[in-house]
Structure 1
Amino acid sequence: LRIGELQLPLSYHFEPNHPRDGVTLRVPAPLLPQLQPERLEWLVPGLLEAKCIALVRGLPKALRKNFVPVPDFVGAALDKLVFGQGSLPQALGQELLRMTGARVSDEAWAEAAESLENHLKMNIEVVDARGKFLGEGRDLAELTARFAEASQAALAIPQQSDKPKAVEAKAFAEVAEKAQQKIAGLSMTVYPALVEEAGVVKEGRFPTQAEADFQHRRALQRLLLQQLAEQAKFLRGKLPGLTELGLLYRDIGRVEALVEDILLASLDACILEGEATLPRDGAALAQLAGRKRGDWTAHAERIARLVLEILKLNHGLQKRFKGKIDLAQAMALNDIKQQLANLVYAGFVRETPGEWLKEIPRYLKAIEQRLDKVGAQVQRDRVWAGELTGYWEQYQARAAKHAQEGKRDPQLTLYRWMLEEYRVSLFAQQLGTKMAVSDKRLSKQWTLVEA
């Protein structure tokens, strides 16, 4: 099986009910995030027809009756398909739709795929950097999560001592954008980057460019904080509203951590934002910091004031949850509490993209208006809350899957914040939205999200 420039070995085992029955793909742990689930759906040409027949036969009877006799319809569809291109169920569904006019939903295909016998699903054997067997299974997302540590261990840069050397802001050598690394006998492309762990910056390697870019940017924030230590010391004691920030944040997290996050987020906004390419050596970082450091204080103070506004609004909302609760409004209140927990939490200042952090006050004001109105529109609120729960659960499931696979999808991030805008359009329309948003636009955006 070809993955990028690599050829991964396949083997076949025929023994019904045996754990390895069917096709097995042997994969080094670091390559798991690079496997495309859609490609695995196609198995190998010799099993494709049997799998497609099983998929169609697994559909509900009301749908399946449109494709009888199943082998004939599947055979005609396969004549038109290009092997390995896109999602197998979707490609098959398109051909069946063309032939019969009957559309099969993604949900119906997913249920049919769940019921497939094991030999019609790709078995994945995971090995470490030396080719030693680690485990196997047929659920790519589960395997990626299970062997995430093994993946990082395989990519680890050899160290002369047990403790990796910390990277210092003023003197770090150039970090290559790509490198070749021998893993389990395969020469694979890896993506070196700086990575921050518990406030310490080290050099690491990642299996995907997106993850490397994300980690490198966060690490640069930390190095900038080192490089501008004197300015940082001044700001730590002089941020506007520092005392009030501490009081409002104490039930959420440590104020010291909040101040640190404000400084790191402001460094990102002031120095890294807008750069076409980010520094990959100490000299380039120092040059960039020297060119832009003059604006840092203003950025830090702006974000501190923004965070203070957010925490004040959050505090006011939390107070409204105290006391007797009308059971008719329980669904709305639970939805609001979950929304708040995903907007204001320990670390939210640094975790929330800057362009959306500044929108949080509007989202909190929309919650205020929703609470003001909920008593008079309980039924309508309940319908909207149910709709929003479905959207949010869909987002969470995909976000968890992406996290396991090491993906960073800007389209999924946009979808997440479109959900907040959609809430504003439902509950506080007069506050306005940052973009045109509706259920149809959400559905359209979802089609752009990586699988």
Structure 2
Amino acid sequence: TLIYELRRMTGVTVEAEHWNWEQIPSHLKMTFRVVDENGKKIAESMNLDELKFNLKDRVQESISAVADYGIEQSGLHIWSFADLPQCYEQKQRGFSVKAFPAIVDEKDAVGIKLFETEFEQAVAMQQGLRRLLLLNVPSPIKYLHEKLPNKAKLGLYFTPFGRVLDLIDDCIACAVDKLITDFGGFVWDEAGFEKLRDFVRENLNEVTVDIAQKVEQILSLNHALNQRLKGKMDFTMAFAFSDIKAQLSGLIYPGFVQKSGYDRLPDLQRYLQAVDKRIDKLAQDVNRDRAAMLRVEQVQQAYQQLLAKLPKSKPISDEIAEIRYMIEELRVSLFAQQLGTKYQVSDKRILNLINNI
């Protein structure tokens, strides 16, 4: 590489991030061109990631076009198909096309579709397998109504975000995801699905109630916090209140239960408790709160800059996604240290992690 050659010639290492690629003349940049089977140009660009992103739909169409008849299906309600291979490979015009099959969610049914990457396969499979299970096990809603004493409060607290039935569906989806994980992950054949279905049928009621109770506590505290943020306030508190409102909207929103996941629910409760402690301390020392908020803002800006630089055609890794929650842990350490954090955290530690990605 150029870095290696310069180091060999001069003894000085010039890291990749120190290069200003925008200043390189166009004629020195590589042009990537995509052609069809006849050699005709489909698209070209000097930005490979942009090219991949713009041709994503075309790639999906091409994958479907070379698939054997019957692999991609739609409108299924039971496991009425053969074993699902985790990887599918087909030769076409001398080229080997590799794709990754997954069950996909069609709301009232499921289908089977081929995907370009294993990540896309995993995302689709999670949703599709969840839907297929829900189509084949009794709904836990009746049991939930019988066992959840504060079910009416769920609707009260969730009113600003949507219908209470959507919230209950969210809790059920979270429960199914947890049970798939507890069972051992995805299944790829009918025998495995039947065992998973029986496992979910046996445990779904209790897990859904457990989740709904946790969610009721989270929404109750979120409701109380929003009440505290209403009404007249001292001008010096305006920035802090604005920051808190933005934080709450990033934690509690339609679909937050399933997207957060079962294991994250206790953390959400603690994050909200930290906000409560912060509001208590705010009136005592606004300047201290402001200083802490500036530290959080610095990390948040660095994280947003990292996300903006990521290739559109590639998924966000678990390591990068976790930084979002590291920032929440940082808030706990700065505003409500007495609650404790999940792991050691500091703004310097998070910034170093961001800079090393």
Same fold, TM exceeding 0.5?
Answer: yes
- How does 1:73-84 map onto structure 2 within 5 Å? 75-77=5-7
SS at 1:227 equivalent: coil
Counterpart in the other structure of 1:409: 317
- How does 1:22-41 map onto structure 2 within 5 Å? none
**CA 1:266/1:75 → structure 2, altered by over 3 Å: closer, same or farther?**
closer
Q: Distance in 2 between matches of 1:314 and 1:128?
A: 54
Residue of structure 2 aligned with 1:254, choices 150, 153, 163: 163
- How does 1:4-403 map onto structure 2 within 5 Å? 75-77=5-7, 96-97=12-13, 106=17, 108-109=18-19, 112-126=20-34, 133-156=41-64, 165-181=74-90, 186-198=95-107, 200-228=109-137, 230-235=138-143, 237-238=145-146, 240=148, 241-269=150-178, 271-399=179-307
**CA 1:281/1:105 → structure 2, altered by over 3 Å: closer, same or farther?**
closer
Q: Distance in 1 between matches of 2:54 and 2:220?
A: 41
Question: Any gaps of 5 or more consecutive residues in structure 1?
Answer: 1-41, 43-47, 53-73, 81-94, 98-102
Counterpart in the other structure of 1:420: 328
Q: Distance in 1 between matches of 2:175 and 2:219?
A: 17
Deviations 1:108-130 (A, max 9, x none): 43xx1232222333333345798
Residue of structure 1 aligned with 2:337, choices 429, 446, 449: 429
Give 1:187 shift: 1.9
Contact 1:307 1:349 in 2 (8 A): yes
Q: Distance in 2 between matches of 1:249 and 1:130?
A: 56
Question: Any gaps of 5 or more consecutive residues in structure 2?
Answer: none
Bigger Cα displacement from structure 2, 432-441 vs 325-334: 325-334
**CA 1:121/1:365 → structure 2, altered by over 3 Å: closer, same or farther?**
farther
- TM-score, scaled to structure 2: 0.85
Contact 1:329 1:374 in 2 (8 A): yes
**CA 1:76/1:394 → structure 2, altered by over 3 Å: closer, same or farther?**
closer
Name the aligned partner's letter for residue 354 of structure 2. W
Deviations 1:323-373 (A, max 9, x none): 223332232222212211111011111111322122101100101111222
Give 1:154 shift: 2.9
Give 1:132 shift: 6.0
RMSD of aligned Cα (Å): 3.2
Give 1:277 shift: 4.4
Q: Distance in 2 between matches of 1:418 and 1:348?
A: 17
Q: Distance in 2 between matches of 1:233 and 1:406?
A: 38
Q: Distance in 2 between matches of 1:200 and 1:128?
A: 35
Bigger Cα displacement from structure 2, 129-138 vs 363-372: 129-138
Deviations 1:244-293 (A, max 9, x none): 11121121122222111111111121x21144442113331121221453
Q: Distance in 2 between matches of 1:131 and 1:420?
A: 51
Q: Distance in 1 between matches of 2:199 and 2:5?
A: 64
How many residues get paired? 354
Contact 1:415 1:442 in 2 (8 A): yes
Contact 1:170 1:227 in 2 (8 A): no
